[in-house]
Amino acid sequence: MGLTLLLGGARSGKSALALRRAAAASGPVVFIATGEALDAEMEARIARHRAERDPAWTTVEAPLDLHGTLAQAPARACVLVDCLSFWVANLLRSGLGEAEILERTAAAAALARRRVGATIAVSNEVGMGVIPEYELGRRYRDLLGWVNAAWAERAEEALLVVAGRTLRLEAAR
């Protein structure tokens, strides 16, 4: 089935596309949610996302252990990871360094690629905007860029989603 990576900016349509693709998959769907409700706005955001999902899907909240959660998913299920952006932010906030985050990235992306069922991963493309003013913002932007590249390298399909439209991303040669 393969690994698909959907990249895009905020409100670009990447999560909506991921939901449609997961709904079209045959068999069960496991939705891996990485966001945490740390404030009221995030609680409301998570509630909106939950309402958009098929209630028959299994939702697993995994803010830190993406690899373990992927490993526990039924082999033939379609797994939707939404999103790598929050996962990286959570890992940074937990105190992990860049090297360990990149090791976890390589392991999780490799596992996602090897799965029998389809895996759809969603992530923000944050490298095309303004350079963050603060060191932590720059570290996050750079790290997420490396994480996205690692997932794209292992993906059978990588799409950039902009304004609800997609562009296929080909490997740089």
Q: What are the residue numbers of the active site? A: 49
Q: What are phi and psi of 32, to 5 degrees?
A: -100, 115
Q: What does each C-alpha distance from 41 to 47, 124, 140, 141 come to in angstroms?
A: 10, 19, 21, 22
Strand partners, 55: none
Amino acid identity, residue 85?
S
Q: How far is CA 170 from the centre of its chain?
A: 19
Other C-beta atoms lying within 10 Å of the C-beta of residue 26? 9
